């Protein structure tokens, strides 16, 4: 069964636009948990424009579902993750000023660095995931870091799905097959939506988890948060 982790960054973006605590990040996370989401994802960035480090600390104290923290492994990020001890950390190669994630790691060029960071988190008992483009050739290098999982960067799939679903899914299916062959778990995220999620999940063998934020929160504006979470879960079932 593929698990749904809801990324609540956009809740924090809305809150930060006015200051204060409306909408409440913690309430949104607890509501998603109550509505059936199996995980909560956050991606704190250095400029604090959405999820802040204090949010991460607070969420770590109140959640009972899996907590996934994404981010570039700066010293500050590593210290935060080791402090709050989430179920999973997802390493992404974002530049500090990135608007959103826009590429996976070159695991070959960055293998030594990633191996050291993965080792740090695994020594703390934290499951690790490395963000990858859909490229089977990158999987052995990711596996060599010692990571538990890869996360497939799915913007390309989402963009191509409306044109040719079979062509769009093909590189993801082959990358996932290589990951399964090498004993890695598989996560996925970025621009997955109610329109394209079921096809993706049906064609990716061994898909453990999807992390969905932007589309899900946008849908919730029209459909309500509870109904939206349940609709995404239905697509995965």
Active-site residue flag, 190: yes
Name the active-site residue from 66, 70, 151, 209: 70
Between strands 39-42 and 185-189, the pairing is unpaired
Name the active-site residue from 50, 66, 151, 190: 190
Active-site residue flag, 70: yes
Handedness of CA 189, 22, 60, 47 (dihedral sign): positive
Residue 219 neighbours by CB under 8 Å, 6+ apart: 193, 194, 228, 231
Phi, psi of 209 (to 5 degrees): -155, 145
Give the H or E element holding residue 126: none
Cα–Cα dist 53/176, whole Å? 32
Q: Is 41 helix (H, G, I), strand (E, B) or coil?
A: strand
Catalytic residues: 43, 70, 190
């Amino acid at each position: 069964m593929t698990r749904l982790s809801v990324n609540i960054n956009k809740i924090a973006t809305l809150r930060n636009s006015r200051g204060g605590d409306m909408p409440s990040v913690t309430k949104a996370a607890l509501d998603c948990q109550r509505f059936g989401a199996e995980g909560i994802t956050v991606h704190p960035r250095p400029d604090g424009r959405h999820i802040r480090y204090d949010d991460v600390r607070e969420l770590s104290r109140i959640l009972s579902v899996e907590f996934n923290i994404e981010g570039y492994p700066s010293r500050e990020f590593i210290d935060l993750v080791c402090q709050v001890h989430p179920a999973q950390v997802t390493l992404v190669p974002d530049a500090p000023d990135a608007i959103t994630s826009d590429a996976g790691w070159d695991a070959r060029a960055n293998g030594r660095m990633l191996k050291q960071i993965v080792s740090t988190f695994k020594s703390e008992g934290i499951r690790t995931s490395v963000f990858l483009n859909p490229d089977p050739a990158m999987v052995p290098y990711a596996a060599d870091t010692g990571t538990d999982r890869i996360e497939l960067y799915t913007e390309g799939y989402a963009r191509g799905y409306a044109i040719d679903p079979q062509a769009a899914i093909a590189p993801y299916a082959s990358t996932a097959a290589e990951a399964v062959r090498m004993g890695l778990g598989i996560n996925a995220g970025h621009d997955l939506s109610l329109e394209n999620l079921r096809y993706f999940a049906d064609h990716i063998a061994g898909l453990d988890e999807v992390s969905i934020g932007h589309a899900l929160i946008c849908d919730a504006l029209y459909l309500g948060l509870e109904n939206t979470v349940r609709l995404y879960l239905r697509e995965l079932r």
